[in-house]
Chain A
Amino acid sequence: MSSGEFASAGADLELVGIQKRFPGFTAIEHLDLKIPAGSFFALLGPSGCGKTTTLRLVAGLEEPTAGRILIGGTDVTNQKSFQRPVNTVFQSYALFPHMTVLENVAFGLRRRRIGDPVAKAHEALRLVELDHLASRRPQQLSGGQQQRVALARAIVNRPALLLLDEPLGALDLKLRRQMQLELKTIQEEVGLTFLHVTHDQEEAMTMADTVAVMNKGRIEQMGAPEELYELPRTAFVANFLGQSNLFTGPVVGSTSEAISVDVAGQKVVVPAARAHRHTGEVTIGVRPEKLTLHLTEPVDDVARNVMGPGHVVDVSFSGVSTQYIVEVPGIGNLIVFAQNMAFGPVAHEGSEVWMSWNIEHGFGLEDDASAEPRFEADDTTRSIATQKRSSLLTELEGA
């Protein structure tokens, strides 16, 4: 659809066996992905995980080393970026400084010789509520306004697929919320397929229907935001998407209903349906807000796991909730988010506390417990550097 008409609706995007190597490193190992038409899909991951490369491959700004890209069933792998029915909202916005806002928005329409570009550009600018600034230059607008112009410039072309490359990264929190809402509204109004790349887990979760968590050039887990949050499959997802308390230990008993794990002498029960591994060493976890803090040892309850006693080492009050860090001997530090139902924090630094949670809230990870670091998040600078180094070494050995 290089010229003439608009896409009638959003289209599927399918990536088949995509691999992308740059001189010296592999950005994407092997990627298979299918995004259904009309959905809002978020690709979430730390910097350097290959998400922006994926986006650029779809936009046609990079060529894959291997694999195929299909948009609406058509193979576009060999098409140049200007031939693809795809538009991008760039992280830097990349608004042409030598053109007015209106000319920026009309640019794509004029290139495709679509009738009445000026009226259509005005219409798109009205959609983002910036029509009154049509004759300004982009550099005379604020960051949020520029972002909306970039959005208008992309959606005015009615692409089958709209790519968003961390477009909200440069905005402050309030503007960000506002833009998230606007993006979501526009997506529902125009019915396009959105592919949103971000490192902001909150943004991905609030906006997308489906989130794919990407790490080291492959997708760790994909699903609805609630599903990903409540039932993470790997330690990376558990730590990148919100925070998690993770424990490692051998399975000491299992029934069809539940497995019980020995965590440094304390028995923790996880529903079998929520655990990926049922034997041997396993990693299990629970979200910090699912934990209840007790100042006295709680009475035994078959429906609840109990851990403790431990000592509060840090209390940070954040208004809605309070975050406690509790050190449990032999296990490590646990994070507890407690809603502030009473005034101020209920436990103080040094207090002896117990924690309990509903058995139903635990989850068991798929990772090999012995291979993964126990409580270390995967997105720290050091672990990224270590990963880079080891991947470079394998690369060198292979060459």
Chain B
Amino acid sequence: MAFAAFSAGTTGTEAAPRRKSPIALLLLLPGILYLVLFFLAPLVSLLLTSFQAPSGFGDVGQYSYAFRWENYVEVITAYWPHIMRSFGYALIATVLALVFSYPLAYFIGVKARAWPLLQSLMLVLVIAPFFISFLLRTLAWKQLLSDESFVITSLKALSLIAPDAYFTGTPVAVIFGLTYNFIPFMTLPLYTTLERLDLRYLEAGSDLYARPFDVFRKITIPLSMPGIVAGTLLTFIPAAGDYINASRDFLGGPDTQMIGNVIEANFLVLQNYPAAAALSIILMSVILVIVSIYVKRSGTEELL
């Protein structure tokens, strides 16, 4: 199952529980109850809502249970660009986060092995942004990148960007925000795999006539696949559903709305609950399909 990909940080050799004891079941019970109550029930409710039809004589926002599958056709026709945009932005942000995080994680996990203190310090720096709410951090970026900000005016003064250029409200700003916010989620799983990377494999590769680039391509990358898969999933999935960065109140504009913004608008503003629910189900299914194909194709099963 796709979720196995998240377990990159743990070794795959842990022994499965040998016998079923009542204590184990008892300990599992809170978790099962929690999942049933707060995951399964809402999911069923969401699914039912997505097929609801407007009540015949009700007000705006009043719906009754039905099997109105046209809801799906309608939202797909209406919000097709938003769906595509969401996955496009999420993909670009994931690739960028991987490109930034891999060297960072490699440095912390491999090069800094001899200095554990440096290693811990750098890890703390990676996690440090979590101490501040990500809403605040995204708002701060909005300030920093706004038209009158020091950064933009300086760039204009230096003629590095056109005098009428702007940053907030553009796709670049949204992708920047997504990349920035999800880099730690990429770096940490990458670090956990790279930290355990056995350098003797790299030596063996070099001994077998592989140039440094070939060693990286043929040995380092495949051996760090569990981290890459976990990191990209942890970035891609939330990024595809994100509605903060693309929101008009933050880094986005009218032309950068993602599926999350549409769901939010339908739920809170338009009170079109079936449309919002249908969009949520679509988002979830597409992500599940993409993730399953990705995990299957990356062939990381035996490395997990």
Contacts and interface: CB of A to CB of B under 8 A. Distances in A.
Contacts of B209: 2-3, 82-83, 108, 111-112, 157
Interface string B207-236: 111111010001100110100000000000
Contacts of B222: 96, 98
Contacts of A96: 201, 204-205, 219, 222-223
A3 B211 CA distance: 11
Contacts of B219: 96
7 contacts: A3-B209, A61-B203, A81-B203, A82-B212, A86-B207, A88-B207, A90-B203
B103 to A, nearest CB: 21
A108 B205 CA distance: 8
Interface string A93-109: 01111100000000110
Nearest to B204: A94
Contacts of B62: none
Nearest to B215: A82
Bin the interface of chain B by size: 20 to 34
B200 A92 contact: yes
Contacts of B14: none
Contact of B208 (A2, A3, A87): A87
Contact of A81 (B201, B206, B218, B303): B206
B201 to A, nearest CB: 6
A87 B205 CA distance: 10
A45 B54 CA distance: 86
Contact of A111 (B214, B225, B303): B214
Contacts of B201: 94, 96-97
Given A96-B201, A98-B225, A82 B303 contact: no
B59 interface: no
A88 B204 contact: yes
Given A81-B203, A92-B200, A97 B210 contact: no
Contacts, number: 68
Given A81-B203, A97-B223, A137 B211 contact: no
B302 interface: yes
Nearest to B219: A96
B113 to A, nearest CB: 16
A94 B206 contact: no
Contacts of A111: 208-211, 214
A81 B207 contact: yes
Contacts of B207: 59-61, 81-82, 86-88, 90
Interface of A: 2-3, 59-61, 80-83, 86-88, 90, 92, 94-98, 107-108, 111-112, 137, 139, 153, 157
Contacts of A94: 198, 200-201, 203-204
Interface majority SS (helix, strand, loop, mixed), chain A: loop
A60 B207 CA distance: 8
B208 A108 contact: yes
Nearest to B223: A98
Interface core residue of B200, B204, B225 (most chain A CB under 10 Å)? B204
A30 B225 CA distance: 43
A218 to B, nearest CB: 26
Contacts of A90: 200, 203-204, 207
Interface majority SS (helix, strand, loop, mixed), chain B: helix
A97 B11 CA distance: 14
Interface core residue of A90, A94, A108, A112 (most chain B CB under 10 Å)? A94
A235 B207 CA distance: 37
A61 B206 contact: yes
Given A59-B207, A97-B201, A107-B218, 18 more contacts: A2-B209, A86-B207, A87-B207, A88-B204, A90-B204, A90-B207, A94-B200, A94-B201, A94-B203, A94-B204, A96-B204, A97-B302, A97-B303, A98-B303, A107-B208, A111-B208, A111-B210, A157-B209
A189 to B, nearest CB: 21
A111 B219 CA distance: 12
A143 B257 CA distance: 57
A378 to B, nearest CB: 30
Nearest to B302: A137
Nearest to B207: A88
Interface in B71-110: none
B210 A82 contact: yes
A67 to B, nearest CB: 21
Contacts of A80: 206
Contacts of A97: 201, 223, 302-303
Given A96-B219, A107-B205, A82 B211 contact: yes
A98 B201 CA distance: 11
Contacts of A87: 207-208
Nearest to A140: B302
A112 B218 CA distance: 14
A53 to B, nearest CB: 14
A68 to B, nearest CB: 20
B212 to A, nearest CB: 8
Contacts of A61: 203, 206-207
Given A98-B225, A137-B302, A157 B206 contact: no
Contacts of A59: 207
Contacts of B214: 111
Contacts of A139: 302
A94 B198 CA distance: 9
Nearest to A59: B207
Interface in B103-140: none
Contacts of B204: 88, 90, 94-96
Nearest to A105: B208
Nearest to B222: A98
A245 to B, nearest CB: 42
Contacts of B225: 98
A108 to B, nearest CB: 4
A83 B214 CA distance: 13
Contacts of B206: 60-61, 80-82
A98 B204 CA distance: 14
Contacts of B303: 97-98
Nearest to B208: A108
A3 B208 CA distance: 11
A17 B289 CA distance: 63
A92 B203 CA distance: 12
Nearest to B203: A61
Interface in B31-76: none
